[in-house]
């Protein structure tokens, strides 16, 4: 069976939940963030990251086609008053996801339950085509942050803030939020070069 190439997107992609993310990871090569449903309303770090991504890279918002998805999409619009936000609207198809015992309240399939072609067509309707690639780009990992002293150490938070300032990223955020930020804004190769330059500047002080 021929494996479909992934569609590489430069923008970060915002979805509602982890199962939506899993579905999209088999279709696109992009940095994908979840809102954790309505969790985004209370998560200040995630809201700030999404706002920053819209300005730095642009974001693609793909939520379910029900009223909850529309509410989350509206909230993201309020957060991102600057930058680029592309809304991708998936069709309202009746049904239920395999892992669920009954359909959602409004009876529509969520993003996780849609097939690849339906999602690709929704992307194309929004003007998103991307570039076909055979494998995902490498990501920065928590292990790398630990080796750099940016995680798990006495001064890790201070070092993260120093590097965040160098990268023009938010300071005072958790290790997980920092990892999400650098993966979304920098990419692996840019991060490696930035760390080398940051170390050189730090050594001079």
- Give the tens place of pLDDT for each residue, 69-81: 999 999 999 999 9
Least confident segment among 30-34, 60-64, 185-189: 185-189
Radius of gyration of the chain from its Cα atoms, rounded to whole angstroms: 18
Average pLDDT, the chain: 89
Alpha carbon distance 49, 33 (integer Å): 10
Mean per-residue pLDDT for 18-46? Answer: 93
Residue pLDDT, tens place only, 2-25: 457 899 998 999 999 999 999 999
- Torsion on CA atoms 33, 34, 38, 42, rounded to nearest 10: -50
CB of 30 within 8 A of CB of 139? Answer: no
Residue pLDDT, tens place only, 108-120: 899 999 999 999 9
Output the pLDDT for position 3.
Answer: 56
- Both structure tokens of 142: 């928590």
CA angle, 181 then 111 then 71, to 5°: 75
pTM: predicted TM-score of the whole model, two decimal places: 0.81
Least confident segment among 83-87, 154-158, 161-165, 174-178: 174-178
Residue 187 pLDDT > 50: yes
């Amino acid at each position: 069976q021929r494996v479909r190439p992934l569609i590489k997107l430069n923008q970060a992609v915002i979805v509602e939940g982890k199962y939506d993310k899993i579905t999209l990871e088999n279709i696109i090569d992009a940095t994908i963030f979840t809102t954790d449903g309505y969790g985004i309303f209370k998560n200040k770090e995630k809201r700030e990251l999404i706002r920053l991504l819209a300005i730095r890279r642009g974001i693609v918002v793909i939520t379910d086609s029900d009223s909850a998805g529309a509410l989350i999409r509206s909230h993201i619009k309020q957060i991102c008053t600057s930058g680029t936000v592309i809304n991708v609207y998936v069709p309202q198809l009746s049904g239920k996801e395999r892992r669920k015992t009954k359909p959602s309240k409004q009876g529509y399939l969520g993003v996780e339950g849609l097939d690849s072609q339906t999602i690709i067509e929704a992307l194309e309707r929004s003007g998103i085509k991307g570039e076909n690639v055979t494998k995902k780009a490498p990501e920065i990992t928590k292990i790398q942050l630990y080796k750099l002293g940016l995680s798990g150490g006495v001064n890790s938070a201070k070092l993260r803030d120093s590097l965040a300032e160098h990268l023009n990223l938010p300071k005072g955020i958790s290790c997980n939020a920092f990892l999400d930020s650098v993966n979304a804004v920098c990419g692996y190769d840019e991060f490696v070069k930035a760390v080398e330059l940051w170390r050189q500047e730090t050594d001079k002080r």
